[in-house]
Structure 1
Amino acid sequence: MDFARTARLRMTFTALLAAGPEAVYQALAEEVTAWPHWFRAVTLARPAETAGRRGRVIGLAGGARFRETIMAAEPARRYTYRIDETNVPAVRGMLEDWRLSPTGAGTVLHWTVALDAPLPVRWLLRLARPAFWRAFRAAAASLDVRLAGLSRTTGRSPGSR
């Protein structure tokens, strides 16, 4: 878990969502197969288990694949997973940490990507930071619209269960 703070490359992005932390957490951690509906870069998302621990299998546009292990699942607060296997060359370690903070206006969503790779790869990923930001911003906006639509169809507020 310390890797999120100590990795050689860390990128953190933040967005404000109108939905409450409970609804955002539910979408992140419990509705895994729905990720491709709101995070355009994700083409495949399914729950998986590795050595008795909850995890996921994720596919991205462009063909990248990841097998992940859930490291922290704190309802309405945090969802963290590490990448155990990938077909992306040169990645030695990767962890993604989603943190949720309630506000009077909804939820502040923080996404940290922590990565260890050789220097040239880290340099290229730093150059790609704007693309990560655009993907996150679009995903957060799409998730917020999705959650608002779900609350209209169920008659519940986005943060209720």
Structure 2
Amino acid sequence: MARALRPVGLDFAASAPVRLVFTAEAAAPPEAVYRALAEEVAGWPSWFRAVTLARPTHGGAGREIRLVGGVRFQETIMAADPERRYAYRVDETNAPGVRALLEDWRLTAAGSGTRVRWTFAADGPAGFRFALVAARPGLGCSFRTAVRSLDQRLTAGASGSGRP
């Protein structure tokens, strides 16, 4: 059963009770990474294994996301700063325990590529917070694998051997 979460602002990325921050490097330039994150939402399942469905809603102001295992999110885009930042908060989910959730993707040019920083900011009861911290290694691995897969798609497209 879907539940409404507490609406939070962008500052939640810095003040959430649980903040998991991960970084990865991509050879693709920031504009290509940003486009895949923010403009080609429906393509997420092709590079982020945990995502089974991603589609823009509300004329691009929101997203519907489904994950492996049946978790669903209805999200509001909070920041869409081309080549620099893409952030969204979860407004409704069927995931148990979570009270508030915001994800913030920051992109920084790194040579000819991109440094990607993902902040997963959440709140919930003590048991949820403990479980989320315990899941940190798995979330980090999922993030790094997703960035690597996205980068392979983007750099293959740039070299002419395939389209991202």
TM-score category of the 2 structures, normalised to the smaller one? over 0.9
Q: Partner residue of 1:42? A: 51
Q: Describe the SS at the equivalent of 1:70.
A: strand
Give 1:89 deviation, angstroms: 1.5
Residue deviations 1:4-44, cap 9 Å, x none?
A: 00000000000000000000000000000000000000000
Q: Describe the SS at the equivalent of 2:156.
A: helix
Give 1:53 deviation, angstroms: 7.0
Give 1:90 deviation, angstroms: 1.6
Quick one: which of 67, 74, 80 aligns to 1:67?
Answer: 74
> Runs in 1 of length 4+ with deviation above 2 angstroms?
152-155
CA RMSD in angstroms comes to 1.8
Q: Partner residue of 2:3? A: none
Using a 3 Å threshold, how does the CA distance of structure 1 residues 54 and 154 change in structure 2: closer, same or farther?
A: farther
Point out where structure 1 has 5 or more consecutive residues left out of the alignment. none
1:18 aligns with 2:31: no
Give 1:151 deviation, angstroms: 1.0
Point out where structure 2 has 5 or more consecutive residues left out of the alignment. 1-9
1:81 aligns with 2:88: yes
Trace 1:1-161 onto structure 2 (pairs within 5 A): 1-49=10-58, 54-153=61-160
Question: For 2:127 and 2:35, how far apart are their aligned partners in 1?
Answer: 37
Q: Describe the SS at the equivalent of 1:88.
A: coil
Give 1:153 deviation, angstroms: 2.8
Give 1:105 deviation, angstroms: 3.9
Task: Please give the TM-score of this superposition, normalised by the length of structure 2.
Answer: 0.90
